[in-house]
Every structure is written in structure tokens, then in C-alpha cells.
Structure 1
Amino acid sequence: MSQNIKKIVLAYSGGLDTSVILKWLQDAYQAEVVTFTADLGQGEELEPARRKAEKAGIKDIFIDDLREEFVRDYVYPMVRANAVYEGQYLLGTSIARPLISKRLVEIAHETGADAVAHGATGKGNDQVRFELGVAALDPALKVIAPWREWDLNSRTKLIAYAEENGIEVPSDKRGEAPFSVDANLWHTSSEGKMLEDPAEEAFNEVCLRTCHPEDAPDQPEYVTIGFERGDAISLNGQAMSPATILTELNDLGATHGIGRLDLVENRFVGMKSRGIYETPGGTILMTAHRGIEQLTLDGGAMHLKDELMPKYAKLVYNGFWFSPEREMLQAAIDHSQRHVTGEVRLKLYKGNVLVVGRSSPSSLYSLEHVTFEEDDVYDQKDAEGFIRLNALRLKLLAERKHRLGEND
């Protein structure tokens, strides 16, 4: 441990782990600690974090409402990319980390701190995301990861340390926590303990944000989302801010049991992990965005975006939000969204979200060209030459195969 550290900015939730980390940093580094608590829409009262920090003697306490910035500058760019990791995961935890890292660095600059600290463990992805973010924004800052340094490697030791130092231990923390939860306005993630056996069903015990689809209303509900240049700007004709739209969609999705996922994923650090995710509003928004793109994106642009998307999603998942390659991909994606404007109507029913209508002033859909009725704009005879040219290389391959006597 470096004794040159004078001031540390801690990403602080006010929970048991970060409360212990706060005290441990004071003791181990003999440094002043600044706390930073981000409101990303996790649905928790944040003032208790302020009171706990004050009780610990912290002078500089930052509690920032970042919900609008989170959705506008991080979630919306990701939605424009239709980013999904390993075919299913909507990247709810991943997309929050670069914003937290950015604000940690900003507060370090504002307060003259020479280090930042986080509470991520040495087995997960978040340590990578936080530290890559800090490295990209200010490589001169030291990053402290207590879980990789201390010997408080069990819940028993953590609680004992808390009790020795007068840190409040909530009653629900004294037993073995059934699983850990991370939440923000985009999603809820639950991992660990009772979820570590991927053979065991866990939705009924774990889901915090959505109702069970079988308990959802027996009547469907319809919602219309308006888009401008790839970003949602209205619900049912009413203009709203990005965070307000996502909040409203979360309520709708929760009511109808939408956005549940049980996933075994490949962590960046090399191991597989099982998580239960709830992304009600995000699932609706992503479905709607694909719906408006179907109408407004050229086929070549759409297919190229679909090829780029897994690379983009992997960069976000692995913590490379501030990398030049993610920014390059974002520039291409944003260019594709110039005409992604219009409205999408969706049907919500018992865990499902379906696009049932779409319209756009920039639509590329031509009824004249696609109709099965008589038209004056498309000569069906043109298809013959098109097919003949595309078949030429296949014919040549078949002739060679026959000539050489190959059977497969």
C-alpha cells in the first residue's frame, strides 16, 4: 500500500461493504476519503448514505442525480446500436460503470484527490470496467480495489470488522445473503449464492422489479413510442425526457411481466456466471427501436449494423466504453440513425412485447413495389437476369465438382 496517497474518492453506496471499505481506507492508507453516491435510478433512498458518511467523519460528500445523463448519454447510444451481449443480455450493469468512472475522475479533480476506490470484487467484470474507465480518463490517478488487498474475505470477517469499528450492520446482513443485487434505471441484476446452481429455477424467489407473467393482466396494453434520429422522444404522443420515458416504460413492463432473463454468461475475466436479469423498460425500448429501423434503414446499412453490433456489445461488456474503437463504431451507428424517425406501436401482454404497427416520414417501405397486385414500377422479368448472374458461380462450382467426380 502506498503511503503517498493523501485523498481518495470512494464509490459509496452506504451499504455494509462500502461502509467497511470507507473505514478500511482511512485506516490502511491514513488518507482523507471523499464519498460519491450516484443516483442511477436504483430506486433506493440515498440520504441514508449521506448520514452514514457524515457519521464516519467524511467532509466532502457527493450524491449526484445522474439519471438523465445515464439514459441520454449512455443508454440511448447503446440502444441505437441494438447492443445485446451473447444474444440476450441488454448490458444493464455494464453500461452504468463508465458513467460512474467518469464522475469518480471528475470528483477527484474537483477535490484534489490522488486516488479513487471501488467495491468490486476480484472475480467479476466490474473491477475491469471501473479501472479501464479511470485509465482512459486520467491514468495518473491510482485505483484502489480493497477486495484485492485486504484479508476480510468472508461475510463473518466483514461483520466482525464492522462491529469492531462501530459500523451499523443491518439485520438482513448478519446471515448469509441469498444473492447480491445491482440495480439502475435500465435493469436489475441478481447473482451469487442461491443462484450459483444454473439447474435450479430462480425467477419466483429473485425477481424484484417485474410481476410473474402468468399473474400479469389478462388484457393486453398498447403503447406508442416516438423516435427522432434513433432516440425515443415521446410516449403515446407526449414528449418526455429520456429518463422519464424509461421510467414509464419500466412501469409498463413490470406490470406485464416483460424483460426477465435467466442467463449463464461468459465473464471477461474468464469464468462463466449465472445471473437473473430484469429489464422491463429496456426490452420494450429495444424492440421498438428495431421496429422503427425496419422501416427507415436501408437493407445494406441494417445488415452492416447487425454485423457490427456483437463487437460493440462486447466492448461495452468488457469495459471499453472510452476506447477509440467503441467511439468509431458509435460514429458509424449514429450516422445510420439520421432518418430513424417515426412512431412504433407495441402490444404488451403476459411477458411479451410485440411490434404491431410503425410509421415514419422517412420510410423506405414502398407499397407500389411490394404489392401482390398489378403495379407500374417493377418489371418482374428483371428478376430473371438477377437470378442468372447470382447463380453463375454456383453453376461453375457444380460443374467442377461433376468434372472431378466429387460427391460432397
Structure 2
Amino acid sequence: MKKVILAFSGGLDTTFCTIYLKEKGYEVITATVNTGGFSPEDLKQIEEKSKKLGASKHYTVDAKDRIYEDIIQYLIKLNGLYEEDYPLMCADRYIIAEEILKIAEKENAEAVAHGSTAVGNDQVRFDGSFLSLNSGIELVTPIKELGITRSEEMAFLAERGVFVDHVYTKYSVNQNIFGITVSGTEVDENKEPDEGAYQLTKKDGNAQSEYLTLEFSEGVPSKLNGQKLPGIEILMKLNSMLGKYGYGSDIYIGDCIIGIKGRIMFEAPGLLALVEAHRKLEQLVLTKKQIIFSRGAGAQWADLVYSGLYYEPLVKDLESFADSVQKRVTGTVTIKADANRITVVELESPYSLVRKDIAMYAQKACWSAEEANGFIKLHTMQQQLAGIKK
């Protein structure tokens, strides 16, 4: 009997996959990789459900720290928002795939499986990861291969005495360590979602303006309000500290891997604040050429990660560049939080390129007027010559 490791959330799709794969003669081992969307109680219930469905074994893997170390820290270092907007909240799929393959190796399993459909981006991220990391393993995708609807899944399960509480909700909500994404209803219809769509960024009308300090060390957050904390804890604390101001949500329309346009609402106050603070600190400590090159590197990295190409060698090349250029991105950023926004109001760094002893913008400088005139003449020489030819 072949063993298959099924990425299992306990929802309708993976419940169907468990029963279906058993009927196809597989020994089903389920695995839940927690990327920040499950509480301890959720995980306990998922494990119990797996046993009731007849899985031979169940694994629970906490991958939150891995996601921060492998992906989020580079998103911050490279200011890596996909199409300058979306904070790559889908990138946990790569870590899920890696953890599934680790379990497959441990169990000597011949196959891996997931519950993605044929109409979304996740099929590319999951299948591409499995093919890139272990091309010899069998990949089983029941929902995708059958083209089955959710109603048909429920009917299939009911015939076998398995009933899934599939309660209709207005919005489809997904959460991980990055934040929350919301789709469905008005979001899909290019309309404004109602207040019920928001969770992390529900505005507290009593929240007063407040100042926060973030310290960065070589491009990654190391302290919040003077307290040294792991970066992942800083991220989670900022979600609650800034979300109450209504900051950190956006509605994004962008280019999907499969060639269509997609619209999604997301909430990521902590991550967006870290990227903004980091970007402002870079303006203080990096040269113009470094900043321009970094923009292109960040855009390329984000495009690859979004597009199912996390294992393209260029990703690691860009991350190596980030590690190098970030060596001087160390300092303190003061943020003012207000209704619906944050503002970086103060910056301090031992590597600041703003030097009062060299110059103060529009006030004084260590060069003479004659030297300035000579520079201007040479700096604008080509445009002067071009003007003569008109």
C-alpha cells in the first residue's frame, strides 16, 4: 500500500481528499503545517478530525519561525512588495511544501497530496515546489484532477456518512503570520467591502496618537520601544498596536500567475509598518546607487516569490545581495501612529549619510561658490550642448 502525505487543514477540501485517497488504496498520513493561522485549540481539533477520518497518522508542524527567517526577513530587507503593493502573504506555501516533503522522507512515503484547485495560484506554488525539490515523488491532487465542486464534495462525503459543517460566510478569510487576506462578495465584485470584512484593522475610535520606536540591525527589526525581541514577535505586536488605528489594510488588484487579474483585500499592519520604517532608514544610510539597484532587486525577488519560482537560483542571489547591502541598515526609527496612517518622524543611525560637518541642505556647505559653479557647468554639459543644436 502506497503512503501519501496529505497537507491537511481539516476543511472540506482536505476532508474529501482524505476519504477519497483512502478509497484509492493509499495509506493516508495527514500533516498540518501551522503558518500562523491556527490556535492550539484549532490544532487539537484538526488532529482529532484526522483520526476520525481514518488517517493512519497525523503530524503537526509549527513553521512560523521558519517563515520569518526564510521569507519575511528578506521581504523586509528588500522592501519586497509584489507590484509595489501586495506583501506576499501567499509565500507560506513554499514552507508548507518543504515540511510535507520532510515528513514524506521520514515516512518513506511514495506520494504527497494537497487540496488546491486548478483555478488558483496555489496549485503553481505547491506543485512547482514538489517538482523542484523532489521530482521523483508522486503528486496527487484530487480536487484539481476531478474538477469537483464543493457541493459535489459534500455529497460524496455524505454518502459515506461523513458530514462537514460547511457554514456559509460572506467572506473567505485566510490568516498566517503575514496577516489576513479576505476575498468573496464585494471584494470579488470590485466593490467596497463592509466593516465586517476587517479583523486586524478595526479602528478603535478612542485610540490616541502614539509614538513607537523600532530599532533595526543590519536590515531586520531587533527592538520595539527599546525592548529586544525576536523579529517575529515584533511583527505580531505591531499588528495589534497599529491595527487599532485602522492602519494596514488595502485592496489589491494584480496579475495572477495563471494569467488573470485578481482582487483581494488584505490586512498586514505590522509588516507594512516594518517595510515603511526600513525603507526610510535606507534613505538615511544607503547611497543613491544602492537605493536604485535595491528597488529593482526587491521587485524582481517579489515577482519570483509570488509567481511560484521561489526555487529559481536568482532568488538566493538576490538574498545574498540583500545581506550585503543591509550591513549598514542599522538604526532607530520613530513612528507616529494616527488614524489610518503611520508617519516616520525621526531617524537615527551611526551610518547616517547626512553629515552636518559636510553640509546642511540649502544652508551651508564645505565647498565654495566657485566650486559649486564648476560642478554645475560640468554636470549639465550634455544638456547644454544638446540645447545648442536645436
Please state if 1:81 is matched with 2:70: no
Offset, 1:50: 0.3
Offset, 1:333: 1.4
Corresponding position of 1:149: 145
Offset, 1:142: 2.2
1:331-368 CA distance string (max 9 Å, x none): 11111001111111111111201111111122222123
Which one of the candidate residues 150, 165, 170 is aligned to 1:178? 170
**SS at the partner of 1:247?**
helix
AA in 1 matched with 2:32: T
Matches within 5 A, 1:273-288: 273-288=262-277
Corresponding position of 1:166: 161
1:165–1:368 distance in 2 versus 1, CA, 3 Å: farther
Please state if 1:367 is matched with 2:334: no
AA in 2 matched with 1:118: H
Please state if 1:130 is matched with 2:126: yes
Matches of 1:318 and 1:375, distance apart in 2: 49
Corresponding position of 1:195: 187
1:7-33 CA distance string (max 9 Å, x none): 1111111112211111112223x1111
Gapped regions of structure 1 (runs ≥ 5): 403-408
Question: Would you say the 8 A contact 2:249–2:267 is kept in 1?
Answer: yes
Please state if 1:397 is matched with 2:365: no
Matches within 5 A, 1:306-317: 306-317=295-306
1:47-101 CA distance string (max 9 Å, x none): 11100111122232111111112112211111101011122111112x2111111
Corresponding position of 1:55: 52
Matches of 1:365 and 1:130, distance apart in 2: 46
Offset, 1:270: 0.5
**SS at the partner of 1:384?**
helix
Please state if 1:97 is matched with 2:89: no
**SS at the partner of 1:163?**
helix
Corresponding position of 1:320: 309
Offset, 1:369: 2.8
Which one of the candidate residues 189, 194, 198 is aligned to 1:207? 198
CA RMSD of aligned residues (A): 1.9
1:165-188 CA distance string (max 9 Å, x none): 23341151xx4x433222101121
Matches of 1:278 and 1:374, distance apart in 2: 43
Matches of 1:258 and 1:395, distance apart in 2: 47
Gapped regions of structure 2 (runs ≥ 5): none
AA in 1 matched with 2:236: T
TM-score with structure 2 length normalisation? 0.94
1:47–1:229 distance in 2 versus 1, CA, 3 Å: same
Corresponding position of 1:356: 345
Question: Would you say the 8 A contact 2:154–2:163 is kept in 1?
Answer: no
**SS at the partner of 1:289?**
helix
Offset, 1:160: 1.2
Matches of 2:199 and 2:157, distance apart in 1: 28
Matches of 1:364 and 1:178, distance apart in 2: 51
